[in-house]
Structure 1
Amino acid sequence: MNEDTPTASRTDSRLGSAVRGFATGILGLAHAFIIWNATFYLIEMAQAGISGYGWTVLSLPVIVPMIVFAVALLLARRRTLGVFIVTLLAGLGVSAVFWLDTLSFALRNGASLLG
């Protein structure tokens, strides 16, 4: 019985690691999608000629999701699987809301971003 317990816990550990890796990959791709959209919008606006203020405002949604993802990983790395996934989802929500707020600001106040 004692020999079966380490094998079972090792198998559970491998399964947990696989699920963590899968969740990290999928939610990392979701963060990358937000970064990709923000970068594309920044490039499109840069072709129209944006000011320094515009560069600052439109660069933040490219940088913030990277920071949020790294912080969420650091906060949740030693937690249970459920807490890990919820923390990454919360970080994704924060990143998405930040991107949508910035996009809304840029659409409403586009003239202030142009140089």
Structure 2
Amino acid sequence: MSAPARTRHLPTGLVVTIAGLFGLFYAYVVWSAVALLILQATGPLGLNGLGWVVYILPIVFPLLAFGAAFAIGQRRKAGEFAIVLLAGLTLSAAFWLAIVGYGTTSYGLYGG
């Protein structure tokens, strides 16, 4: 016996609106990560291979977090969908702060 198919609780327009609003915040995190990468890569010391990896991760992570949060929450109610997207955004912000902290204290990323 198969489980009944789960129906969508939200209209498509509401899903797009909620995802679009949160997407702007995710885009800001990505844009900040790109700006930091450019700043560090064109700085006086440059970046070595590990530095490139470390500074590219905060560009990729929010995109993956948004995709995962969207996949998890798209078939839920509006409040639950927003909370799932907020949780992904919070994770992205925490990851961003960890990278900034690591970048300021680790000199092994520079000098490439």
1:76 matched to 2:68? The reply is: no
Q: 1:29 aligns with which of 24, 35, 40?
A: 24
Q: Among 100, 105, 108, which residue is 1:112 paired with?
A: 108
Q: Partner letter of residue 23 of structure 2?
A: G
- Quick check: which has more Rg, 1 or 2? 1
> Displacement of 1:17 after TM fit?
3.9
Is residue 95 of structure 1 aligned with residue 92 of structure 2?
yes
**Structure with the higher helix share, 1 or 2:** 1
Q: Tell me how far apart the structure 2 counterparts of residues 62 and 81 of structure 1 sit (CA, whole Å).
A: 27
SS in structure 2 of the partner of residue 50 of structure 1: coil
The correspondence for 1:64, drawn from 26, 39, 61, is 61
TM-score normalised to the size of structure 2? 0.84
Size of the aligned set, in residue pairs, is 101
Show structure 1 runs of 4+ deviating over 4 A: none
Q: Output the CA distance in 2 between the equivalents of 1:69 and 1:93.
A: 11
**TM-score of the superposed pair, with normalisation by structure 1:** 0.82
Q: Quick one: distance in 2 between partners of 1:83 and 1:77?
A: 9
| Runs (5+) with no aligned partner, structure 2 | 1-9
Q: Which runs of 5+ in 1 are unaligned?
A: 1-12
RMSD (Å), alpha carbons: 1.5
Determine what percentage of the aligned residue pairs are the same residue: 35
Q: Is the 8 A contact 2:50 2:109 kept in 1?
A: yes
Letter in structure 1 aligned against 2:70: L
Per-residue CA shift, 1:51-103, capped at 9, x if unaligned? 00000001000000000000100011111111101000000000000001100
Choose the corresponding residue for 1:47, options 42, 65, 75: 42
Any idea what the Cα deviations from partners look like across 1:15-59, whole Å, max 9, x if unmatched?
x54433222111100000000000000011111210000000010
